[in-house]
Amino acid sequence: MQRKVVVITGASSGIGKALAEKFAEKGFNLVLAARRIDRLEALKEKLNKVDVLPVKTDVTSPEDCKNLIDQAVSKFGKIDVLINNAGISMRAIFEDVELDVLHRLMNVNYWGTVYCTKYALPHILKQKGSIVGVISTGGYIGLPGRTGYSASKFAVRGFLDTVRIEYLRSGLHVLVAAPGFTASEIRKTALVSDGREQGETPRNESRMMSAERCASIMYRAIKNRRRKMIISLWDGKVIVLMAKLWAWLVDQIIYQVFKNEPDSPLK
């Protein structure tokens, strides 16, 4: 039988890398996208039991996203699953942040999802396959000091929810997956007010869900064709439910949690 094909953006580290390993374990052929092609090549060598196509891709470029999909179809003839995982974060209050930082967040997190989905959609429709968007709890609740991040994740959720409804009768599966805090590089590469990378995470990564655990849960959700999934419990399902019932209380809790971070931008 012909192997299924998954395209994963942001596959060079964190959740994207863990997803690549999980789908390879399940026998999928892989198309891996990221800017760091050297990491993708190293991952290809590791996942040598399946066919892996690394493609250097900047998801803020429509041309790069089109090239990614074109190369995937040229090599494998189809796409069964697209996982829009590429993303960046930020850490600065809105008063201080430069507007370019907000544009960069939206370009990577939101427009990267739109571009890849636009070019992959005709091929995925043929397979009655899956389109996945990786957001976070910040796509349901505003996170202080992360205006651009939360805005972009809310936007991805709204975009993919609408795509799901538009193609409701087509057999297309759309999943919006929202991990809570997950151990990855995203906090190290988060942008501060002037656009520089933060460099060090303000949180204890060892206490977070592992990227591998997150990827395993997401794989099952894709396999079972779930439409929405908040992956974490206390920093995910519970806090989102509380926000529906006691929004004023959640505002206070979220503010205090982020204010207590080391070197918090909140005053």
At 203 the pLDDT is: 66
Mark whether 255 is an active-site residue: no
Residue numbers of the domain that contains 39: 5-232
Reported pTM: 0.92
pLDDT, tens digit, for every residue of 130-150? 999 999 999 999 999 999 999
pLDDT for 180 beyond 50:
yes
pLDDT, tens digit, for every residue of 190-236? 999 999 988 776 666 777 889 999 999 999 999 999 999 999 877 78
CA 237 vs CA 76, 136, 204, 243: distances in Å: 38, 11, 21, 10
Provide the pLDDT confidence category of residue 116 given band limits of 50, 70 and 90.
very high
pLDDT, tens digit, for every residue of 225-240? 999 999 987 778 898 9
At 188 the pLDDT is: 80
Mean pLDDT across the chain, nearest whole number? Answer: 94
Nearest to 5 by CA among 97, 73, 64: 73
Least confident residue range of 33-42, 163-172, 199-208, 214-223: 199-208
Query: Looking at the 3D structure of the chain, how many domains does it have?
Result: 1
At 234 the pLDDT is: 74
Position with higher pLDDT, 181 vs 95: 95
Q: Span 255-264, mean pLDDT?
A: 89
Please provide the DSSP assignment of 134-155 as one string. Answer: E--GGGTS--TTBHHHHHHHHH
Instruction: Write down the catalytic residue from 115, 119, 149, 219.
Output: 149
Instruction: Judge whether 91 lies within some domain.
Output: yes
Instruction: Judge whether 156 lies within some domain.
Output: yes
Nearest to 177 by CA among 68, 52, 62, 16: 16
Provide the pLDDT confidence category of residue 261 given band limits of 50, 70 and 90.
confident
pLDDT for 14 beyond 80:
yes
Report the CATH number that the domain containing residue 38 is assigned in CATH: 3.40.50.720
Instruction: Judge whether 77 lies within some domain.
Output: yes
Instruction: Judge whether 252 lies within some domain.
Output: no
At 91 the pLDDT is: 93
Instruction: Judge whether 219 lies within some domain.
Output: yes
Instruction: Judge whether 125 lies within some domain.
Output: yes
CA distance 180 to 141: 11
At 235 the pLDDT is: 77
* Total length of the chain: 267
pLDDT for 98 beyond 90:
yes
Crossing angle (nearest 10°) for helices 37-46 and 14-25: 30
pLDDT for 1 beyond 60:
no
Provide the pLDDT confidence category of residue 106 given band limits of 50, 70 and 90.
very high
Strands 5-9 and 29-34, bridge-based pairing:
parallel
Instruction: Judge whether 266 lies within some domain.
Output: no
191 within 8 A of 104, measured Cβ to Cβ: yes
Instruction: Judge whether 260 lies within some domain.
Output: no
